[in-house]
Amino acid sequence: MHSPLSMLLEKLRIQTLRQGWGVAWLFLVAAGMLGAAPPNILIVLTDDQGFGDVGINGNPYLDTPHMDRLAREGARLNHFFVEPVCAPTRAALLTGRNPTRTGVHGVTRNREIMRTDEVTLAELLRDQAGYATGAFGKWHNGSHWPQHPNAQGFDTFFGFCGGVVGDYYDPGLERNGEPVAKQGYIADVLADEAIAFMREQAQQNRPFLCYVPFNTPHTPVSAPHAEWQRWRNRSEPADAYTRAVYAMCENLDMNLGRLLAVLDELDLARDTIVVFLGDNGPKGERFNGGMLGTKASVMEGGVRVPCFIRWPARIAPGTVVEENAAHIDLLPTLSAAAGIDDPAAFTQPLDGIDLSARLESRPGFAMPQRYHYTWFDRRRWSIRSDRYRATASTLHDMIDDPGQTENLLESAPEQHATLIQAFRDWAQTAVPAELTPLPVEVGYDAAPRVAIEAHEFELSPGEGQGIAYCEQFGYAGQWIEAWSDVAASAYCPLRVVASGHYRATIRYACPPEAIGSRFVLQAGASQLAFTIDQSGGSAAHPAAEQAGLRQGGYLSRDVWMEADAGVIDLAEGDVRLELRALTMPGEAMPEIKTVTLTKIEP
């Protein structure tokens, strides 16, 4: 039997979905008659900060007072697992699902794109609980509509959509799809924007989800001057690379302190859930709690990260969770805190569980025994139970041998066989038989201009075979160069959602001897030939790093040329967009940064 008040609330909820925030405010006011307003949520995700890159986890060098304070004032999840690399962790966190289910199985060339039918935490909180939603930092789950963060539940987005930016000072970023130039160090700039967002929502008395996925201490290893001065001449750690990474970690700690201070200032700390975590293990060998593996490893050190959750209203200070938990648990846990009792009613089937009872130490609750699955590629994967971690050829007792020094494969074959069968059963449904990159979509009215970057193209016949990326692997920010074979080409999958005329423009760099180079852009039966008839483009330069892992890494070019290639007709459907060379007057074709397709009126 529904009470009159509950019926009124349901009517207001439905109106909220139809009419937006004005009515949502009324809904929340009415909901207050039944209980407290939903908590604010601040999620701070760091990039390549491993388990050992926090003082409270035993690092003998680092000073991270704000991270340590957060752990002491809330719950410290000591066995918290993510993915071996960036984009899959982000997809899992946002959806509560194993990343291969979402379309994400890599970090570049469209393998990082999350399918649009996935329902994110931001969509849930905005649409079902009236939250304001903002993301500030590294997205890395799709650059184009409808995979852009503004199309995935975030009303406000400030940051960058690719996997990396090459310059951490005065970075070129975007705000809701429009480029913006900001002065300062990138982590400081992102924190500034997140703080402004929280202040605005507090002024409007509206609950918020503030997602801050920092891109540091990911390489390039470029720390702010003040932090680096404290580290540059230390004798320990011995290598400058690790010292520079630690300087970046201390900058992150300072910015976390700024975020927490704003919550205190606005009197929001008690009713704000703060989640802090890393996205994978550390890049490079450094202190990591004695674990085996670093970033990109499927062993413990590659996927176990710091995770602290503070909610003074509900979580007791000093709570320690030793049971296994994971990124996929955050969506169901935070949804429950926001009053969404059954998030799976609005999402794809969830893999994570609600940790609320464990975090709040409710009497009689015991964490279920379950497996955590790590899939990097067909050859690299592992499965973790409460006690063991197994791969196809290893078995380790993580309680008696946390450093994974003794392989128990021969001494415990039945245990190994049980875990491997469990992994194979899971992979049958969680890992698609064909892991193909999702296409770039063009033709939406909401995004008539689509800039396809060089790292979204595959190279044929392959990297270094008459065509190459400016650095290895073709990560975000790179370009196509060394195009010395006319038979080589670049291509990417394309989905045309609306047939029509599209203007193609090319960003390039061209030496004088390559003037007259001729290309053809082809999509299905349509093709467009064009000539580069003007030279230009500034010289490439490496990122400013204190101690790079590789000489001259993370190249940038400040000035690119732009050519109007003409208009190409695209028919609705899936096609392969291909850029081919026709005429090469010099030793190589011009370097290619971007192919932009803009839908134009007939």
CATH topology of domain 440-600: Jelly Rolls (2.60.120)
DSSP 101: G
* 492 given a catalytic annotation: no
- Cross-strand partners of 132: 208
- Cross-strand partners of 391: none
CATH of span 38-359: 3.40.720.10
Residue range 385-399: average pLDDT? 98
Residues of the chain with CATH 3.40.720.10: 38-359
Question: In this structure, are residues 91 and 83 in contact, taking their beta carbons and an 8 Å threshold?
Answer: no
Stronger pLDDT, 601 or 452, i.e. the higher one: 452
Predicted pLDDT at 553? 80
pLDDT tens digits, 181-210:
999 999 999 999 999 999 999 999 999 999
- Cross-strand partners of 597: 450, 504
Three-point CA angle 544, 547, 552, nearest 5°: 55
Question: In this structure, are residues 390 and 420 in contact, taking their beta carbons and an 8 Å threshold?
Answer: yes
Predicted pLDDT at 27? 45
CB atoms within 10 A of CB 269: 19
Question: In this structure, are residues 277 and 305 in contact, taking their beta carbons and an 8 Å threshold?
Answer: yes
pLDDT band with cut points at 50, 70 and 90 for residue 22:
very low
The number of residues in the chain equals: 602
pLDDT tens digits, 440-453:
999 999 999 999 99
Stronger pLDDT, 17 or 92, i.e. the higher one: 92
Distance in Å from the first CA to the final CA of the chain: 57
Question: In this structure, are residues 28 and 207 in contact, taking their beta carbons and an 8 Å threshold?
Answer: yes
CA 188 from centroid of its chain's CA atoms: 18
Among the listed residues 86, 249, 307, 510, the single catalytic one is: 86
Which tokens belong to 359?
A: 């975090």
Question: CA 371, CA 489: separation in Å to the nearest integer?
Answer: 44
pLDDT band with cut points at 50, 70 and 90 for residue 457:
very high
Mean pLDDT lowest for which of 16-30, 81-95, 507-521? 16-30
Predicted pLDDT at 36? 72
Pinpoint the alpha helices (H) of 32-107: 65-73, 86-95
551 pLDDT more than 80:
no
For 196, phi then psi, to 5°, come to: -60, -40
Residue range 475-483: average pLDDT? 97
CB atoms within 10 A of CB 266: 15
Average pLDDT value over all residues in the chain: 94
Residues of the chain with CATH 2.60.120.260: 440-600
3-state helix/strand/coil string of 60-72: CCCCCHHHHHHHH
Predicted pLDDT at 261? 98
* 86 given a catalytic annotation: yes
pLDDT band with cut points at 50, 70 and 90 for residue 35:
low
For the whole model, what pTM was predicted? 0.94
pLDDT band with cut points at 50, 70 and 90 for residue 2:
very low
Question: CA 450, CA 502: separation in Å to the nearest integer?
Answer: 10
CA-based nearest residue to 562, from 524, 596, 513, 586: 596
425 pLDDT more than 70:
yes
pLDDT band with cut points at 50, 70 and 90 for residue 21:
very low
341 pLDDT more than 50:
yes
Among the listed residues 66, 79, 105, 140, the single catalytic one is: 140
pLDDT tens digits, 294-309:
999 999 999 999 999 9
Three-point CA angle 162, 163, 165, nearest 5°: 80
